[in-house]
């Protein structure tokens, strides 16, 4: 798994490539912590994530709670149908705004 952090003014985007599982979740969490410490507007680009285990879902929940505590917003970008299904089953999908493109995410986060 590879995580790249990009800043767009007051918005931070984490681009994730690869699977998020018990082995890669700690790295995802470290990068997410860096992002949530510096911004309350977070976009998670997940279009290149094919699989997310419960460990990855736990990190998403941590991100949501950290940002919610700052009165911020989290937007998920390009989430696969399979991951959306898992998120829907667990109820996690209700915590996030999901968009298809980075431009859509930036528009939503600028309005937040």
- pTM (2 d.p.): 0.94
**Tens-digit pLDDT string for the chain (112 aa):** 999 999 998 999 999 999 999 999 999 999 999 999 989 999 999 999 999 999 999 999 999 999 999 999 999 999 999 999 999 998 989 999 999 999 999 999 999 7
Q: Of all helices (H) and strands (E), which one includes residue 33? A: helix 25-38
pLDDT reported for residue 75: 98
Give the residues across from 5 on adjacent strands.
14
pLDDT reported for residue 104: 97
> What is the spatial distance between Cα 73 and Cα 82, in angstroms, rounded to a whole number?
23
52 φ, ψ (degrees, to nearest 5): -135, 120
Q: Which domains does the chain have, with CATH numbers?
A: 1-8+20-80 (3.30.750.24)
pLDDT reported for residue 38: 86
Which residues neighbour 67 within 8 Å (Cβ) at sequence distance 6 or greater? 36, 40, 42, 73, 74
């Amino acid at each position: 798994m590879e995580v790249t952090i990009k800043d767009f003014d007051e918005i931070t985007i984490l681009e994730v490539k690869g699977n998020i599982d018990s082995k890669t979740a700690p790295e995802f969490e470290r990068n997410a912590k860096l992002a949530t410490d510096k911004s309350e507007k977070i976009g998670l680009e997940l279009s290149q994530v094919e699989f997310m285990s419960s460990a990855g879902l736990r990190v998403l929940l941590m991100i949501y709670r950290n940002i919610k505590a700052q009165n911020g917003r989290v937007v998920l970008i390009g989430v696969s149908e399979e991951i959306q299904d898992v998120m829907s089953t667990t109820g996690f999908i209700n915590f996030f705004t999901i968009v298809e493109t980075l431009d859509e995410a930036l528009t939503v986060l600028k309005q937040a």
